[in-house]
Amino acid sequence: MNKKDADVIVIGGGIIGTAITYQLSKRGKKVLLIEKNDLCSGTTGACDAYITPHTKAAGFSLDLCIKSQEVWKDLEEELDADLEYEHNCGGLQVCQNQTEFDLVSDNSEKLKAGGLEVHMLDIEEARKIEPALSEKLRGALYCPSAGQVNPFKTTFAYMKAAKRNGAEFKNHTAVTGIIRDGEKVVGVNTDKGDYYADAVVNAAGAWGGEIAKLAGYDFEILPRRGQLIVSEPVKPIIHTTMQTGNYMVIKHHPELITDERVKRLGIGYCIEQTDDGSIIIGFTREFVGFDKSTTLESIEGIIETAIQHIPELADIHFIRTFSGFRPYSPDNKPYLGPVDGAPGFYMAAGHEGDGIALSAITGVVLAEMIVDGNTSFDMDSFSPNRIFNK
Amino acid sequence: MDRNVIICRCQEVTYGEILDAIADGATTVDGVKKRTRAGMGLCQGKTCQRRVQQIIASQTGQKPEDVLPATYRVPVRPIRMGVIGGNKDE
Ligand SMILES: Cc1cc2nc3c(=O)[nH]c(=O)nc-3n(C[C@H](O)[C@H](O)[C@H](O)COP(=O)(O)OP(=O)(O)OC[C@H]3O[C@@H](n4cnc5c(N)ncnc54)[C@H](O)[C@@H]3O)c2cc1C
Ligand code: FES
């Protein structure tokens, strides 16, 4: 029998991997997290930070987000850290014209039926919540329970709390193989040596497909690039989180888009202002492999839409652009749970543009699966084993 | 050096906070930036990056030139958004 380095090995030091590590360590497990670069060096270090239930598809995804918000609510206290968490800053999905407004209205009915409080507002009402909005817009969907958070602070806070519980972190260590004993997964090969444990969790985000391949599985997880722009710090002008009315179409049904540039680059618009005054504006949704560059055409497109929505942005300077890779799965749902035929191997990857929001609940359910063998609510819809039924 | 000395003026990050970030596992300028925001300010690290590099070097025993600098991000200088996005109202 091999030596054992930990009860559980977690691959990937983004918000998902650190959340799972913390939740497992809280339940008494000895955890070893292995990260190729540094914590937050993947998508968690290059994204927005909305916790917005109204951008989730009504049904399982919405339910999961609402469950996640319940965990988020007490997290600052539990981790004993400031996460810049704003529970009820509210979210607006802003519509430029009647077509968008009708589309978003339809979706608002589904969200309401799913148990979420949302309201359709004319532009005059929307401007009472967000006075910076242009009066030329049509209106907005308003979700009072939308929030935001600081993903860096959350990831490092999870790490610190997990370390207090005895978890170990190996940065600059790349997983290169999955060690099996018969069917069972019992450890990982890395560029720094082999490590053994009773269970291995794949939390490698957009790289989760590569890790699964090492175990012999073909999970389709693709990097979906998103470009973002950061402004100089300015006085508070944006209070909620916002995105365009076509957000859901770009995310879930890009094939329905007619505008050529929007279709090619998946250009949409979202905006938030962080605690230090910087405004973060996005976004694109592009399949270009792991190419981290930002492009002038996309930056122009994003800023153009942003100024149409918030005219006073025209006089504010932007100081940085960057891009990140959403871990995209073809059915827009993360793979969460044990994998048939590989006892001890768990997937926790493929959160696309929802990984920050869903990190809190992902940590809890993976820990429940590994420690108790079942979860406090039905997670079947997210089971990785759905790939075998295709 | 006193822990309270400000190293990144734009974000008001102190020497002590940078030492804590390195103790926390940061070995590159980006690593310090992600933990402290040093280098994320208006000047985008033009003023503080070299000092951060030196502090990492002295704490980790690397040569300053071997410490990975921050990832380069467009634009080089702050740009007014109206210039790029075209203010349709003008
Ligand atoms: C532009 C943009 C905007 C977004 N906005 C939001 C938002 O508003 N709200 C929201 O909820 N989500 C948002 N997201 C999505 C969110 O950022 C991701 O879903 C989330 O960060 C994924 O976290 P993760 O931990 O799974 O992945 P990551 O943070 O990428 O972590 C995976 C880690 O695995 C490591 N790794 C890879 N290969 C190996 C290996 N072989 N060995 C060891 N380690 C390895 C990587 O280095 C990386 O650190 C956005 C994403 C983008 C790109
Ligand atoms: S001094 Fe650090 S960003 Fe300007």
Q: What is the CATH number of the domain that holds B60?
A: 1.10.10.1100
**Euclidean distance between CA atoms A95 and A121, whole angstroms:** 10
Give the E-state strand segments of chain A in sequence order.
Answer: 8-11, 31-34, 50-51, 91-95, 119-122, 139-143, 147-148, 168-170, 175-181, 184-190, 193-196, 199-202, 222-231, 241-244, 270-273, 279-282, 317-328, 335-338, 345-349
* Pairwise CA distance, residues A312 & A234, whole Å: 12
Tally the C-alpha atoms within 13 A of residue A310's C-alpha that lie toward its C-beta.
Answer: 28
- What confidence tens digit (pLDDT) does each residue in A36-67 have? 999 999 999 999 999 999 999 999 999 999 99
Q: Assess contact for A227 and A294: CB atoms under 8 A.
A: yes
Residue A347: nearest ligand to its CA?
A: 1
The range of the structural domain enclosing residue B56 comes to 6-85
CB contact under 8 A, B25 and A311: no
The answer to whether position B90 is within a domain reads no
**Residue B46 is assigned to a structural domain of this protein:** yes
pLDDT tier at B88 (50, 70, 90 boundaries)? Answer: very low
Q: Is residue B50 part of a domain?
A: yes
Distance from B10 to chain A by nearest Cα, in Å? 10
Residue A49 to residue A244: CA distance in whole angstroms: 16
**pLDDT > 70? residue B22:** yes
Does A375 contact ligand 1 (Cβ within 6 A)? Answer: no
Backbone angles phi, psi at A117, to 5 degrees: -80, 115
Tell me if B1 is assigned to some domain: no
For residue B66, how far is its CA from the centre of ligand 2 (angstroms)?
21
Instruction: Tell me the per-residue pLDDT of A280-323, one tens digit each, with 9 for 90 and over.
Output: 999 999 999 999 999 999 999 999 999 999 999 999 999 999 99
| pLDDT the model gives residue A268 | 87
Q: Is residue B37 part of a domain?
A: yes
- Whether B43 maps to a domain, the answer reads yes
Dist. CA A48–CA A363, nearest whole Å: 20
d(CA A126, CA A138): 9
Token duo for residue A372: 């108790």
A231 close to B81: Cβ distance less than 8 angstroms: yes
Please report, rounded to a whole number, the percentage of residues in chain A having pLDDT higher than 90: 90
Ligand 2 atom with least separation from CA of B44: 3
Q: Is A304 on the interface with B (CB under 8 A)?
A: yes
A182 burial type by CB count under 10 A (0-12 exposed, 13-18 middle, 19+ buried) = exposed
Q: How far is A95 from chain B (nearest CA, A)?
A: 18
Rounded to a whole number of angstroms, the distance from the CA of B15 to the nearest CA of chain A is 19
Sign of torsion over alpha carbons A187, A353, B76, A153: negative
Residue B74 belongs to some domain of the structure: yes
Class of residue A28 by CB neighbours under 10 A (exposed 0-12, middle 13-18, buried 19+): exposed
Cα of A296 to ligand 2 centre, how many Å?
Answer: 25
* For range A160-165, the mean pLDDT: 98
Provide the number of structural domains found in chain B.
1
pLDDT at site A389:
85
Residue B49 lies in a domain: yes
Select from B25, B26, B79 the Cβ nearest to the Cβ of A169: B25
**Which of A303, A312, A323 is the best substitution to test chain B (most B C-beta atoms within 10 A)?**
A303
Does pLDDT of A1 surpass 70?
A: no
Cβ-contact A206, A223 below 8 angstroms:
yes
Residue A2 pLDDT level (bands cut at 50, 70, 90): low
pTM score above 0.90: yes
Residue B1 to residue A273: CA distance in whole angstroms: 34
DSSP-derived 3-state class of residue A296? helix
pLDDT value at residue B86: 67
Which residue does chain A place closest to B23, by CA atoms? A160
User: Is the ipTM reported for this complex over the cut 0.95?
Assistant: no
Tell me the CA–centroid distance for residue A72 and ligand 1, in Å: 18
Exposure class string for A337-348: b at 16+ Cβ within 10 A, else e = bbbeebbbbbbb
The residue among B36, B81, B83 with the most chain A CBs within 10 A of its CB, best to mutate, is: B81
Ligand closest to CA B38: 2
Report residue A32 as tokens.
């070893």
